[in-house]
Amino acid sequence: MTDAFGAGDAVIFMKIGTHANEDLGDIIERKKREIREAGYSMWGYGGNTCHPTSIVQPFARNHAASNHPIRLCMHPMESRHFAVPVRAEQYSVDGVEWESIPSSINVLGSRYALCITGLREADAQLQLINTRVAIGNSTGRIGADYVRGHVDKACLEVVSPGDASEGIQIGFVADVVEPYAVFLRN
């Protein structure tokens, strides 16, 4: 992957930091280890702006059908997520049929997860002003206007590359793979 973004790129943007009492650096190392051991990992999250079945899965399927990769672009930030780190035991693609999470994968303190591979550090700038919300009630809204306040994640499409020197810092990138997003339960 290059650190550049081009028109038509599919991006799941997410602000990341401490989660469930675990430092971001420790989370990154654990996820890389899970990818080495299981072939993929699950990046946990919450909130309905990236609901698995109504937002992420249709967004990802649409872009995958066009042979566009779906990238999780993560912006590190200070966070205060100090919830109890409860491990999810099962996942579901549809919220109906449930399967056990492989023992080598730990998803802590989350309702949902993105299925990822290729987690890597990045040194990129994403111009949210040059993105649009790709699905849901806010379809077409400028990414910079949408990702504000408590909104910390979004399914976006890059409409123009913009100036690579301006934008929000992307510190980590991963490839989002089938089944793209899942529900979690303990």
Which residues are CB-neighbours of 125 under 8 A, at least 6 positions away?
164, 165, 166, 167, 168, 169, 170
Whole-number pLDDT of residue 164: 58
Cα separation, 71 vs 7, in Å, equals 14
* Tens-place pLDDT, residues 32-81: 999 999 999 999 998 889 999 999 999 999 999 988 889 999 999 887 66
Does a structural domain hold residue 94? yes
Does a structural domain hold residue 111? yes
**Pairing state between β 99-100 and 90-92:** antiparallel
Does a structural domain hold residue 167? yes
Which residues are CB-neighbours of 71 under 8 A, at least 6 positions away?
1, 9, 10, 11, 12, 173, 174, 175, 176
Does a structural domain hold residue 131? yes
Q: Give me the tens of pLDDT residue by residue for the chain, a chain 186 residues long.
A: 445 788 999 999 999 988 777 889 999 999 999 999 999 999 999 888 999 999 999 999 999 998 888 999 999 988 766 667 789 999 999 999 999 999 999 998 899 999 999 999 999 899 999 999 999 999 999 999 999 888 999 999 999 876 656 689 999 999 999 999 999 999
Whole-number pLDDT of residue 66: 87
Does a structural domain hold residue 3? no
Whole-number pLDDT of residue 163: 65
- Tell me which residue range forms the domain holding 34: 10-185
Does a structural domain hold residue 1? no
Q: Which of 45, 2, 61 is nearest to 183 (CA)?
A: 45
DSSP for residue 112: E
Whole-number pLDDT of residue 82: 62
DSSP for residue 168: E
Backbone phi and psi for residue 149, each to the nearest 5 degrees, phi listed first: 55, -120
pTM, full prediction: 0.93
Does a structural domain hold residue 5? no
- Number of structural domains (the chain) is 1
Residues in the chain: 186
CB atoms within 10 A of CB 170: 22
